[in-house]
Every structure is written in C-alpha cells, then in structure tokens.
A and B are shown apart, each in its own frame.
Chain A
Amino acid sequence: MLSIKLFKNILFSLTATTLFTTSIAAGSACCGGGISIPTIITGDDKQILTTSLAESTVDTFVGSDGIWRKTQDQDRSFIFRLDIARIFSENFQIGVSLPFQERTKTGLQGGNSAGLSDISGQIGYEFMPDKEYNLWKPHGVGYVSLVVPTGKSVYDVKNSGSPEVSGRGLWSLGVGAVFTKYWIYLDAITVIEAHQYLDRTFSNDQLHGTVSAGRGYSSLIGLGFNSSNYRLGASISWIYEDPIEISGLNSSTGSLQRFATGTLSVSRMMPEQMGVTVSYSDQMLFGDPTNTALSRSVLISLQKKWER
C-alpha cells in the first residue's frame, strides 16, 4: 500500500511539474511577453531536471477593441528550455529556468534570430506539507520569483517586429503558490501568482522614455487522470497584465492585456525516475483575450528526478 502511494506521489509530482513547463511554452503572447511559472518540486524529490522543446506559432492578434485579426505573416518560435529545481533544506527549494529561443518570421521585416530569452529563478517554501494523507487538504508550496530581462525586448530593437525580440525587457518580482492534490486515479493542481514589473528607462532609436508595466496576475487550474504509467492532463491558465505606460518622447497610457491558455498533455513515466511529456497548448480556445497575440504550441519534455 505504501509503495502504491509512493508511486502515485512520484507519478503525480512528475506530471504536475511538467504541467508548469507546458504552461510556460504557451505563456508568451505578444512581443516576448508573458510570465514565467517556475518549476516547483511538489513531491518527495530532492532535485528535478527538465529539458523541453516547444514550437509556438502566432496565429491571431486581438486588439484592445476585442477584434480578432488573423496574422498574415508566419511567426514561429522554437524554445529550448532547461529547468532545474532542488531542495536545499527541509522545506526550502530553489529553481532556475534558462530558455533559449529561435524565432523565424516571414514578411517584409522577417528573418531568423536565436538567443537567450528572459531567465528566471525562484525560491520555494513548502508551507503545507502532506506528511499524513488527507482526502481534501492539498499540498502547498509558496514561492517568490525573479525574472531577469536577458532577452532582447521590443524596446531594444530598431524594428519591433524583428525576430530578435525574445523577452519582455523588464525585471519582475513575483510571489505565488502551488497547490496539488491526488486521489487514486485523479490529481488536481492550482497555481496563483502575482508579479510586479520594475520601471525601466530606454534611450534608443525607438524609445526615449520610461516603461512602466505595473503588475500582472496569473492562475492555473489543472486536472489529471492517471492510469498505469500514463497520465492524461488538462489545464487552463489565465494571465492578466496591467497596461504598459510609456512616458517620455512617445508617451502612451497603454491598455490591459489578458489571455487564457488551454493545455492537453500526455505523460509517461519511465525507468530510472525519468518521464516524458507531450503537450498541446492553445490560446484561442478560452477566456476573453484582449490586446495580445494568440499562439498555438506543441511541447515535448524530458524529466529526470532524484529522490530525497
């Protein structure tokens, strides 16, 4: 019985962590934006290493007027991502995410570019452990996160439609919590998160002024069905970003950004504490998107875990 519970726990923590990675792949809407939901250890593991490759294609732009406009040019990104999370004391953990992006665009200002996107790190604290099984009480991990604008942003390039754009261009500090729960064949996950962007001043051909992006919020709910070594998962995440206010030469007050991402994933647990996940994410299915670009993504990830 104990081994079955342990197995379920391992399988769930494997797939749940993968869910976060999946949401990252589709989290980038317009202009290298989006937030970074971290890899968090939710099971009895000491360390988790995840590599993933996602292909994301922009399909539609939605204006602040709510009008959907199909893009005529092809805008495709391959994002290779390396995530590592490690427990460093009884309840604390640390994680880092390193994304690399290759982006190809067609059209008048199209081209191809590759480089580092925004890297992120987080420190997590297990504030709601599940040492004794309870039917309803979830397992909870809180975290603080930092996103470092290592990718080129729309404010750094001469042409904002350039494929060089791979990041948001702003530092952000976030706080959030991950709640997980499993019941025999089923599991559930909830993530809530808020982040604050730090103002940044740019001075180049396009922009002489300060970018103030305010705050953003995100949430995710997901359900999974486990059978044998497989897990079928579904999740929806919602992201809200405050209007981006520009002060200086070309000032503007901006408009809020909002979109939702639906994800379906299939995971398989393999020997040696490894697992593989394939997922499909679509930003055109859910929510009431506004002022954003909507993408579809396919992701494959490979994960290796080390037990405590």
Chain B
Amino acid sequence: MFDKKIFSVLVILLTLIACARPNYSQVSPGNGDNSNSNNSDSNQNQKVTSPTECHLPFLKEKLCVELVWNNIPSDSEYGSFDLKFFEAERPQVAVNPGHEVGITLWMPKMGHGSGPVKITNVSEGIYKIDQVYFVMPGQWQIRIQLKGAGADSVIDQVIQEYTF
C-alpha cells in the first residue's frame, strides 16, 4: 500500500514538474519577419528595381545587392526572387558582379542547408533565383555568395535573414 502511494506521488510530481509549455507561432510559414544581417528593413513583397540604399553590401568587393521576392515560398509552393547587383554610388545601374553567383539556403542554428536553387542570369547584374524552398520552419539565412575558382571557394558573401 505504501509503495503504491509512493509510486502515485512520484508520477504526479514528475509529470507536473516536467510539463512542457508550448509557445506556438502565430505566423504561418512563409509569412515571417525577415531582415538582412546588416539592416532590419524588410525586403519582402517589394516590387523594387531601382534601390536607393545599399542594404546588403559585399564589403570586400565593394558591391551591393538587392533581393526582391517574386513569390514567397510556402510548404506547397517554391519561392523565387530577383537579385540586382549595383555599386553603392549608382544604385540605378545594375553591374556585373564579376564572379559566379551562388545561393545557399542555410539553417545556422541546426547547421545544415536546404536544397539547391536554380540561378538564371537574366541580364547584366540581374539574376533570377527559382526553386527556393525551406525544408522546415524556423530561422534561415539566404547566403548570397560570390564564388571563386574552386567549388569550396567563396570570395565574398552577404546574408539575408529569413524566418520561414
């Protein structure tokens, strides 16, 4: 009888002490708050082709890039965005970045990426990025990279934070 009481009390105590307290997100994937690593301005859903400021600067290459979403990715649909490379003094004019452009969708807290995207060079300094997809909800980074000769060589990169 005593053992049964101990058992019951222990089970109840452990259960109460250890209970989880879920804090569910009120935002569905694809509609989160997003900002770049250097500036908190949101670029989502903008239809901008003539940027006025350099929100995403490549510090080594002295270039800027603007990211404009065409389609926000969701669980059921790939996203796409445009990139425009320009010099800070002349934001109206797109310039060739001079290196191969790479995009990595990276989840820094978990230490892994998502999947490869499709990169199309539309015109000088303008790139279209398709098949943008995040494999799980959470905090992601869109890493825009200027690549070197080797597959593992990155000359410069900027990071756009993204919450999916």
B29 close to A72 (CB less than 8 A): yes
The CA-CA distance from A160 to B113 in the complex, in Å, is 6
The CA-CA distance from A286 to B22 in the complex, in Å, is 10
In the complex, the chain A residue whose C-beta lies closest to that of B147 is: A249
A61 close to B137 (CB less than 8 A): yes
Chain B, interface SS category: loop
The CA-CA distance from A66 to B115 in the complex, in Å, is 25
- Least distance between B117 CB and chain A CB atoms (Å): 11
Instruction: Give the number of residue pairs across the A-B interface with Cβ within 8 Å.
Output: 137
B139 close to A250 (CB less than 8 A): no
- Least distance between B26 CB and chain A CB atoms (Å): 9
- Least distance between B16 CB and chain A CB atoms (Å): 10
- A205 proximal to B (CB < 8 A): yes
Which B residues from 51 to 72 make CB contacts under 8 A with A? none
Chain B residues within 8 Å of A154, by CB: 112
The CA-CA distance from A158 to B105 in the complex, in Å, is 12
Chain B residues within 8 Å of A183, by CB: 3
- B76 proximal to A (CB < 8 A): yes
B136 close to A185 (CB less than 8 A): no
- Contact-size category for A: 35 or more
Chain B residues within 8 Å of A217, by CB: none
B3 close to A186 (CB less than 8 A): yes
- Least distance between A155 CB and chain B CB atoms (Å): 7
A108 close to B110 (CB less than 8 A): no
A69 close to B114 (CB less than 8 A): no
- A92 proximal to B (CB < 8 A): no
B109 close to A63 (CB less than 8 A): yes
- B10 proximal to A (CB < 8 A): yes
- A107 proximal to B (CB < 8 A): yes
- A255 proximal to B (CB < 8 A): yes
B135 CB contact (under 8 Å) in A70, A160, A209, A221: A160
Query: Would you give 19 A-B contacts (Cβ < 8 Å), ordered by A?
Result: A60-B22, A61-B136, A64-B109, A64-B138, A68-B22, A159-B116, A159-B135, A160-B113, A161-B114, A185-B4, A206-B112, A223-B7, A236-B14, A250-B104, A254-B110, A255-B109, A285-B19, A285-B20, A288-B21
The CA-CA distance from A30 to B110 in the complex, in Å, is 9
Given known A-B contacts A69-B137, A71-B136, A252 and B20 have beta carbons under 8 A apart: no
